[in-house]
Amino acid sequence: MSDDLVEKVARVLAENDDHRVWHAWCSKARAALSAIEAAGFVIVPVHPTRDMSYAAPDNLDGVAVEDIYTAMLSARPRITGETT
């Protein structure tokens, strides 16, 4: 998990809190993200990175990697109440 992602989650958690305890929020964000991974989920970007695209097989019968990735993300499990 990236430090950038931890910081973004921590900022949301600490939004209306005393920022003098920033390290505690980063710790909580890291724990939350670790719990997500422990439950068998990962956090991925909405659009595949260059490395992700390069890791895909060369021959996909003319279908773009980005289209396959978008379709897979569209079929992801949703958070209760989340809409498309």
Q: What is the pLDDT of residues 27-52, one digit of tens each?
A: 888 888 888 888 888 888 888 888 87
**Residue 82 reports pLDDT greater than 60:** no
CA dihedral (33, 36, 37, 43) in degrees, to 10, reads -70
Confirm whether pTM is higher than 0.95.
no
- DSSP output for 5-60: HHHHHHHHHTTTS-GGGHHHHHHHHHHHHHHHHHTT-----SS--HHHHHHS-S-S
- State the pLDDT at residue 21: 75
- State the pLDDT at residue 79: 61
Mean pLDDT of the chain, nearest integer: 77
Average pLDDT over residues 54-72: 79
